[in-house]
Amino acid sequence: MDSPMRGYVVHQDDLTMMRVPKVNASFRVPINRSVGCQNLLQRVYYYGQGASEVMRNDDSEDILYVASGRGTVRINGNEHALEPMMGAFVPPDSDYQIVNPHDDTLVIISVLTPQPGYPPTQQMDAALRADGMLTVREADQEALPAGNRTFKYMVNHRVGCRNATQFIGFIPTSKAPVHTHTYEEVIYIVDGEGVIHVGGQDIPVRKGSSIYLPPLLPHCIENPHEQPIRLLGVFCPAGDPGSKAYEEKA
């Protein structure tokens, strides 16, 4: 599906794998400006054993999520442990490096906002924590209701993120009403499979699928299976993932 006006859905296996020069790492780019996304850049990184080069984003926040593997992220010289189902926040104007000391691949979903070279949109008032904490464990977060579904806040204003909100959503066997949001959103399916109804199409999604939803696009994700869908969402501007501009009446 490739119409920016109707959103965009792609699976990572259908994308070109690119090598990171000089290091044992590669990446794919599911969502960027070429598919219509204006404020978010989604990438999937695969870090083999070793350390990445030191990276820096002058103006962008890098919002990370560990899909699998373990390692550390060094941010301005401070080490933060990385483990599965953990979010991490890299503030703008920071030097950072990903280190994987293990044989298993460290898979990280990265969302940059704003996209490099573009100004931010509406920003939330937020400050970095006094204790320097920049990671969020999914297991430590409260599950909040959103209809018959739940979500957990991950990286947001609580750790200093101003441009976007990261969350994990849980979809049981169900079909939500068609609805819209005022924000721009990128999604990565962490576990499970289902169907997204969007742009007049019914598109299968599964673990490794990425979804781009522009503001005010009617959509819903259906889970016809017993296994819950776990999805990683990042949206801009920051706010409440459960808020809707419109919801179809049952």
Any idea which residue has 């849980």 for tokens? Answer: 170
Residues 45 and 143 in one domain: no
How is residue 38 annotated by DSSP?
S
Question: Which tokens sit at 97?
Answer: 């490096």
In a domain, 132, yes or no: no
Residues 150 and 115 in one domain: no
Q: Is 14 helix (H, G, I), strand (E, B) or coil?
A: helix
Domain that holds residue 48: 15-122
The predicted pLDDT at position 122 comes to 83
CA nearest to 213, candidates 26, 64, 9: 9
The predicted pLDDT at position 248 comes to 65
Residues 80 and 156 in one domain: no
Last residue of a domain, one of 91, 122, 153: 122
In this predicted structure, the answer to whether residue 1 has a pLDDT above a threshold of 60 is: no
Question: Which tokens sit at 81?
Answer: 């442990």
- Torsion 231-163-60-71 (CA) sign: negative
The predicted pLDDT at position 176 comes to 76
Q: Is 180 helix (H, G, I), strand (E, B) or coil?
A: strand
Q: Is 21 helix (H, G, I), strand (E, B) or coil?
A: coil
Which residues 6+ apart lie within 8 Å of 119 measured at CB? none
In this predicted structure, the answer to whether residue 118 has a pLDDT above a threshold of 60 is: yes
In a domain, 206, yes or no: yes
The Cα 206–Cα 191 span in angstroms is 7
Residues 32 and 118 in one domain: yes
Residues 89 and 144 in one domain: no
Q: What is the CATH number of the domain that holds 200?
A: 2.60.120.10
At residue 120, φ and ψ (nearest 5 deg) are -70, 160
Any idea which residue has 């079909």 for tokens? Answer: 175
Residues 153 and 235 in one domain: yes
Residues 96 and 37 in one domain: yes
Residues 118 and 77 in one domain: yes
Question: Which tokens sit at 204?
Answer: 């299968």
Last residue of a domain, one of 93, 122, 151: 122
In a domain, 2, yes or no: no
The predicted pLDDT at position 175 comes to 79
In a domain, 8, yes or no: no
* Amino acid letter, residue 244: K
State pLDDT tens for residues 174-204. 877 888 999 999 999 999 999 999 988 999 9
Residues 92 and 177 in one domain: no
In a domain, 9, yes or no: no
Residues 211 and 240 in one domain: yes
Residues 165 and 238 in one domain: yes
In a domain, 128, yes or no: no
The mean pLDDT value of the chain amounts to 93
CA 211 vs. chain centroid, Å, equals: 10
Q: How many CB atoms within 10 Å of residue 226?
A: 8
In a domain, 58, yes or no: yes
In a domain, 218, yes or no: yes
In angstroms and rounded to an integer, the radius of gyration of the C-alpha atoms of the chain is 17
State pLDDT tens for residues 126-154. 999 999 999 999 999 999 998 888 999 99
Residues 149 and 225 in one domain: yes
If one counts the domains in the chain, the total is 2
State pLDDT tens for residues 207-241. 999 999 999 999 999 999 999 999 999 999 998 88
